[in-house]
Structure 1
Amino acid sequence: MKSERLLSLDVLRGITIVGMILVNNPGTWESIYAPLRHAEWNGLTPTDLVFPFFMFIMGVSMSFALSRFDHHFSRSFVTKLLRRTVILFLLGVFLSWFSLVCFGVEHPLEHIRILGVLQRLALAYCFGSLLIMSVRRPVNLAWISGILLIGYYVLLMLGNGFDLSEQNVIAVTDRWIFGENHMYREWLPDGSRIFFDPEGLLSTLPCIAQVIIGYFCGNILREKTEIQHRLLQISILGIILLFAGLLFSYGCPLNKKVWSPTFVLVTCGFASLFLVFLTWLIDIKKQQKWGYAFHVFGTNPLFIYVVAGVLATVLAVIPVGDTSLQGKIYQSIVAVFRDAYLASLIYGLLFIGFNYLIVLVLYKKRIFIKI
């Protein structure tokens, strides 16, 4: 069942990476359907599920990958951990630098955004792996995850953590460590901007717990019991996480931009149940053809995420008349469909289609780029 389970995981990973690329690449940011927007602050939209799903999947995958080391710090483990952490982090920094250079920002090194999506994945992977390898008893790992979430909630409560302002402890921490020039500027509802990073350093703490929860689900998948029994266990865990997160959200709002503890619980709950559904559909019912494209995306997920980021920047800076190549393509779609929202979505889907051709070539040649 190992390879079959990994097929399910690849499909889920592919669905998630497609979602990440889609929500990052509309035809225009002015015309986006509501489900494809992030919540402005508190709340949850389908778009808010995409990144935490990938974080959860990374934890599931770590269960398979780290099992080979049997909780022993070997030279090969440390080398792999450091190499992957550094590569992921630097790729994230590169995307920021590349965008600044392409848009003609002077002295780009002085304005590089230090943190971001790939950087958060790198840090969560690194510290999650270290905890998993250091703590042998699963119950102790569960306690550590709980302490992380509770401790982070206390920090949020004491440090204006649920206020969208520069006095938020997350913004204060990033400003103190990195400086404003290296921070993201978040949009406010009135159209103004403040220095607040939705992938802040402090808000990466609960992501470690997210990875560990995914690791627990991966451990369940690796058990040698009947597949139905394993899926039942993950379903029960997912339901508990989902209802606990929704219940506690009355005192701790669901909030992606601070990655609140309830956001961790709810998104892990949804991800667990979605993993169960896909495993049932693919492994038990053998309905696999529909997921082929997602499986292809899921075999080179981080590589195509980086490629998509570079491609999106290039399309946005190549001049075509009085607009960019991206703008020209979008205007052509609008001219046909006469609906800005639909045209924006179609552009995103065409962009995904182009990226699919890239990963399809790699897949056909059995080239899997590990990042």
Structure 2
Amino acid sequence: MLILRIWNYLRGYAIIVVKGIKIERFINLAVVNNIYLWDIEKIDYATIKAKISSSDFFKLKSIVKKTDSNIQIIEKCGMPFKIKKMKKRKWFVVGLAILLISIYILSSYIWMIEIYGLKNIDEQVVIENLSHAGLKIGMRKKKINKRKVENKLLIRMPELTWVGVEMKGTKAFIKVVEKGPEPQLINKDEPCDIVASKNGVIEKILVLNGDGMVKDGDTVKKNQLLVSGTIIRNNLPERYVHSMAEVHARTWYEDVEEIPYEQIEYKKSGRVHKTYSLEIVSRKFERDKKIPYEDYNKIEKEIYIFNFGSYVFPIKLIITQYEELVSTTKIISEEEAKTICEERLNAKIKLQIPEDAVILNQRIEYFPNEKSLIGKIYVEVLEDIGVKVRIK
């Protein structure tokens, strides 16, 4: 029965092994003397295994002598023995109690902030503004008003359109949405001109509204007036309109890159040096960091010692690994230099050309010398260069 098991656990019991040729008589004498044995298991003809209460165990002394048996305690179980062990480990118990109390207290604070949704804004900037908005590491959760934090952060950071704050365990999760770049739009009922955004040669101009000031084949300079929103007619009053047009022009881009024939390469030597430091809250404890290598890769790993899902406590081990790099000098050929130069020039020029532009012509010229190869890229594209500006 469950109640009997609980009672036996509370008063304590022992698991014993009894050996002797008079095992049956041993059991009978125990029953006669009101000594309760349970879970009796016969191992062989001269050996049994059983459980007995701690108070009844000492009553077996006379029965052991009468039956010429040998008794051995295999295990002591129950509350009295647990308490006895705990008394022997008093400082361990005290330390465990202090640890549990500390964990309970620390779990009511925020020890980690995770931010999601950032694209262009630096995370540290958001964390600093969160501190002024009423949320920072080490704050008690009860003192944090999520809605106030959201509103204050939006006020402090106008570059954000939405903020959401959630707290789970000792973590705060901040979700943000950044504002996109605001286009400088001019209302259709507002008068404006169209000017050239860059130098070029007009390939085709189609004026939908306003007076065209250039024609196909004309060479234009940056900021030159292409379509005027000021309409002047003989015997009519001057009026202003919202200029509309498609202005496609040929434009040119160029860039330069130099590739030395003597290239320095870094390879891992296989040697690794590790350092360890402990960070509690925001205080770091570390030994002298002497890096034995001149050139190296640095890899840092943080391990939270007390990490239970959403409950993370501010004690972490920081393992820093330094991988030694050995530099070697490699001489490359002119053809190899051209290949490298072409890849770099194409990557650089691609960043300059608008996505909707059409590439008409592209060439690269190389100028080798004793120590390096210089490459120049020239790209001709077709793009819309018209930009609207308000009439002042």
TM-score (norm 1): 0.17
Over alpha carbons, which structure has the higher Rg?
2
TM-score (norm 2): 0.16
Which structure has more relative contact order (CA 8 Å, sep 6+)? It is 1
Decide which structure has greater strand share. Answer: 2
